[in-house]
């Protein structure tokens, strides 16, 4: 299925959660100088127009990142300041954000000379846009193919460390099991890698199939961070989850503090929790 376009959802509360986790993971891993091979299995576009027809149709950014941006002076932690610095270039003349970076651009912001990014996107139009953007960046490679299969083909990487982001749309119900299966196979190829698996929390809780499959599988040391809207909509996502395999030491506390800082009704109107799905 190639109908999903993230432009309708860019900058929503789930993106805030996911990209906070991604940014934190990258920065913490870079405390060591050794090279990191970064992989983005469902990369989408490099950036999104928040003033465009698609974003305005859903209004999800207005209830997401556009709630966070006006409070930037109050978000004093280095972890939040790193995220906000990545958003600054998208500020419009009205003080709101006119554009929002997709995950490839978040990765690129932190790539060092020794790091690389391999991005996959199956959607033809999205893949073409992504490829055009990547053409100007020598450390970024784009493949228009299934990112789960592509990831397995590229593992283990030549670099000593690995960071993977996997965030399909889950429009296909089998994606939950396929993601869990791919994670298990990837982990067996590269057990020291840091893997971030994002998932939506929807009515009926289909994400439980993903969590059950991971908890029953071979992968160890899996952190689960979830946020839930205090006023859940009648349709669509009521929450967002991120599984983090091999999180850097202290990652759990720092991500929880980041999400707590934007959870109140003045901002995103969330409740958040963090726990170990699978211990070491």
Distance CA 249, CA 140 (A): 28
Pairing of strands 99-101, 47-49: antiparallel
- 167 assigned to active site: yes
Distance CA 63, CA 51 (A): 14
Q: Do you find a cis peptide bond into 156, omega within 30 degrees of 0?
A: yes
Distance CA 37, CA 243 (A): 19
Q: Which of helix, strand or coil describes residue 280?
A: coil
Burial 69-101 (b: 16+ CB within 10 A, else e): beebeebeeebbebbeebbeebeeeeebbebbb
Distance CA 141, CA 117 (A): 6
User: Residues 15, 115, 146, 167: which is the catalytic one?
Assistant: 167
Instruction: List the catalytic residues.
Output: 167
């Amino acid at each position: 299925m190639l109908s999903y376009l993230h432009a309708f959802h860019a900058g929503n509360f789930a993106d805030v959660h996911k990209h906070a986790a991604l940014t934190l993971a990258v920065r913490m891993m870079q405390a060591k100088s050794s090279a990191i091979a970064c992989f983005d299995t469902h990369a989408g576009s490099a950036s999104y127009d928040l003033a465009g027809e698609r974003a305005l149709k859903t209004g999800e950014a207005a209830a997401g990142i556009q709630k966070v941006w006006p409070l930037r002076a109050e978000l004093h932690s280095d972890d939040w300041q790193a995220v906000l610095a990545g958003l600054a270039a998208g500020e419009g003349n009205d003080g709101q954000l006119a554009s929002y970076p997709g995950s490839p651009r978040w990765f690129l912001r932190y790539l060092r000379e020794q790091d690389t990014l391999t991005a996959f996107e199956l959607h033809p139009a999205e893949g073409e846009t992504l490829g055009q953007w990547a053409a100007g960046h020598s450390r970024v490679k784009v493949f228009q193919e299934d990112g789960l299969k592509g990831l397995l083909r590229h593992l283990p990487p030549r670099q000593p460390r690995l960071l993977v982001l996997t965030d399909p749309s889950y429009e296909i119900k089998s994606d939950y099991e396929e993601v869990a299966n791919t994670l298990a196979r990837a982990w067996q190829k590269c057990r020291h890698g840091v893997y971030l698996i994002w998932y939506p929390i929807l009515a009926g809780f289909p994400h439980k199939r993903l969590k059950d499959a991971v908890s029953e599988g071979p992968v160890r040391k899996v952190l689960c961070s979830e946020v839930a809207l205090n006023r859940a909509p009648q349709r669509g996502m009521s929450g967002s989850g991120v599984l983090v395999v091999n999180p850097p030491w202290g990652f759990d506390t720092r991500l929880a503090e980041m999400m707590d800082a934007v959870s109140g009704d003045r901002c995103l109107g969330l409740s958040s929790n963090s726990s170990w799905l699978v211990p070491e």
